[in-house]
């Protein structure tokens, strides 16, 4: 098939490679424009842009598609059978969705209709879901509301992180989109029951509320690492990033939530406790708890602040 591929982050790269390896003709790759990155803020091409150049594919990176009639004309000129979209980052107007002969197919990182929206991977872990997956859907004007062609699932357990789930779903998406184009299964409308929405995340979503249970805090750490990252505040205002923890839901204590209980960085939660295993203080890299404590002791009795413990807005981690 003659394909237009549209994607931007790492998540989309395996699908691009899978389509190319399957022998499809990729007429063009659309991606977000290069953005400033790193300490020097030099322009950096997106992962999809870099992958496309390696494969020798033509790349387009319009800033916007809204009312961009010149880009609509260029899109139509490729005479594609289908457009495949994976975390592209721009909304396709209906005038573009209607151009390819077989329409536009989206690789969505959830088992629709659960977790439509911007952060399906993180939301599945935060909610304690036992599985996630990828849905290949026909795109329409609504937010992830289109009919489904194919779905595949992966389990979520107590060790699943946003990074590991991202990688599993990314690979699965590549497999499913090739299968969907080969088999062309009939589209099935999404059920009306079970619809949930994954909201766009902000850095403040990463602030730990120690009043929550150990299980909920562990899920937050696993779901929001590496981005937006989880953090807490010391009483002196220092921002402390939390990279990993072990939940201790049966741990009994009578301490205020957020109190360090021992010299192993066990911290009291609203229910149970968590043992912090990876931490980072400002200006340093993430490190194991033992190494962290050698340079910055947190003796028993130290209190890590929950949002309700301070009246001012929390400083944001760098």
Could you read off the pLDDT of 143-170 as tens digits, one per residue?
899 999 999 999 999 999 999 999 999 9
Domain range summary for the chain, segments of one domain joined by + = 2-198, 203-309
Whether 313 has a pLDDT exceeding 80, the answer reads no
More confident residue, 39 or 86: 86
Domain topology for 2-198: Rossmann fold (3.40.50)
- The percent of residues in the chain predicted with pLDDT above 90, rounded, is 88
Q: Is 19 annotated as a binding residue?
A: no
Per-residue pLDDT tens for 56-110?
A: 999 999 999 999 999 999 999 999 999 999 999 999 999 999 999 999 999 999 9
Confidence at residue 283, expressed as pLDDT on a 0 to 100 scale:
86
Check residue 40 and give its pLDDT.
79
Is 112 flagged in the annotation as binding?
A: yes
DSSP class per residue in 221-273? HHHHTTTT-EEEEETT--EEEEEEEEEETT----SPTTBB-STT-EEE-SBSE
Percent of the chain with pLDDT over 70: 97
Neighbours of 281 (CB within 10 A): 16
- 94's enclosing H/E stretch is helix 94-97
Cα–Cα distance, 120 to 110 (Å, whole number):
6
Give pLDDT, residue 39. 77
* Main-chain phi, psi angles of 66, to 5 degrees: -70, 120
Q: Match domain 203-309 to its CATH number in 3.40.50.920, 3.10.25.10, 3.40.50.2020, 3.40.50.300.
A: 3.10.25.10
Q: Give the DSSP letter of residue 205.
A: G
The mean of the pLDDT values for the chain is 95
Is there a common fold for 2-198 and 203-309? no
Q: Is a pLDDT exceeding 50 seen at residue 312?
A: no
Length of the chain: 318
Confidence of residue 141 (pLDDT cuts 50, 70, 90): confident
Residue 261: the pLDDT is: 98
* 202-258 confidence digits (pLDDT tens): 999 999 999 999 999 999 999 999 999 999 999 888 999 999 999 999 999 999 999
pLDDT at 310: 62
Q: For residue 65, give the 3-state DSSP assignment.
A: coil
With a cut of 70, say whether residue 111 has pLDDT above it. Answer: yes
Q: Would strands 266-268 and 239-248 be described as parallel, antiparallel, or unpaired?
A: unpaired
Q: How large is the angle between the packed helices 162-183 and 214-224, nearest 10 degrees?
A: 60
- For residue 233, the cross-strand partners are 239, 305
Question: Does 111 belong to an annotated binding site?
Answer: yes
Separation of CA 170 from chain center: 11
């Amino acid at each position: 098939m003659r394909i237009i591929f549209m994607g931007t982050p790492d998540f989309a790269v395996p699908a691009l490679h899978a389509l190319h390896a399957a022998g499809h003709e990729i007429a063009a790759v659309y991606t977000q424009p290069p953005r400033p990155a790193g300490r020097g803020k030099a322009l950096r091409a997106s992962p999809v842009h870099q992958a496309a150049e390696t494969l020798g594919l033509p790349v387009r990176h319009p800033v916007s598609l809204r009312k961009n009639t010149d880009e609509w004309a260029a899109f139509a000129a490729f005479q594609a059978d289908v457009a495949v979209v994976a975390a592209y980052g721009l909304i396709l107007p209906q005038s573009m969705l209607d151009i390819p002969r077989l329409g536009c197919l989206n690789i969505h990182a959830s088992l629709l209709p659960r977790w439509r929206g911007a952060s399906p991977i993180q939301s599945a872990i935060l909610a304690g879901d036992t599985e996630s997956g990828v849905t290949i859907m026909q795109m329409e004007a609504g937010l992830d509301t289109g009919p489904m062609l194919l779905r595949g699932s992966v389990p979520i357990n107590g060790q699943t992180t946003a990074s590991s789930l991202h990688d599993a779903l990314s690979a699965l998406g590549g497999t499913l989109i090739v299968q969907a184009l080969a088999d062309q299964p009939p589209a099935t409308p999404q059920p009306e029951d079970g619809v949930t929405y994954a909201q766009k995340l902000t850095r403040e979503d990463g602030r730990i509320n120690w009043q929550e249970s150990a299980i909920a805090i562990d899920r937050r750490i696993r779901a929001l690492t590496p981005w937006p990252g989880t953090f807490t505040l010391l009483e002196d205002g220092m921002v402390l990033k939390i990279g990993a923890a072990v939940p201790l839901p049966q741990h009994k204590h009578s301490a205020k939530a957020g109190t360090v209980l021992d010299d192993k960085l066990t911290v009291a939660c609203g229910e149970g406790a968590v043992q912090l295993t990876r931490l980072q203080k400002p200006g340093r890299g993430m490190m194991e708890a033992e190494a962290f404590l050698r340079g910055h002791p947190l003796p028993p009795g130290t209190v890590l602040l929950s949002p309700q413990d301070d009246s001012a807005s929390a400083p944001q981690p760098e």
